[in-house]
Amino acid sequence: MMASLISPARMIPRLRARDIRHVVDELARSAAGSTLNKDMVRHAVLERGQASTFGFGRGVAIPHAAIPGLDSPLGAFARVKPALDFGAADDIPADLVFLLLSPDGDDPMHLRALARVVRRLRDRDVAARLRSAKDAEAIHVVLTSDAWREPDDERGTGHTATLRAGDLTNTAMCTSISVLC
């Protein structure tokens, strides 16, 4: 569940971004809180970014890293202005950025958490609501619940269907952590 990854306290509704490093710094500060070392988080994320792209397309970026000493995945979220190029295959700069931190040494857990975040943020309805949400509380509701959805959307279910695996990563199939990241 997304609710286990993020809290309203780790939301940045409006981040005036200078560059990707600035975005990672602010999200690392937010995610670290009083329990993690912000500099260690920032370093781990930036190092991971040198080996892969964080852009997942449609204006979404998900910087992520494994962090020693972390018990379970956690995240921080920011709406970024101006949107920045995180290297997505569709060349659309990202304005929705979710930092995901996972326990070091548990690739399956990291992959499951990353897939969960990707599915949620690449949902067109979720992305539109995130871009128009007024504050951190509203962003949190959109990220963690489907309560805001109309019960008679086009599928008649009140929520969107799960995306195909190819929709998760700009048409790359999710077969392992190295392929996804």
Using the structure block, give the residue that is written with the tokens 């040494």. 105
Residue in 3, 103, 9, 94 with CA at minimum distance from that of residue 56: 94
State CA 61 to chain mean position distance.
Answer: 6
3-state DSSP assignment of residue 178 = helix
* Known catalytic membership, residue 64: yes
Q: Do 117 and 131 form a contact (C-beta atoms < 8 A)?
A: no
Residues 22, 43, 64, 140: which is the catalytic one? 64
Report how far apart, in Å, the C-alpha atoms of 160 and of each of 29, 67, 148, 164 are: 32, 32, 12, 12
- Residues with catalytic function: 64
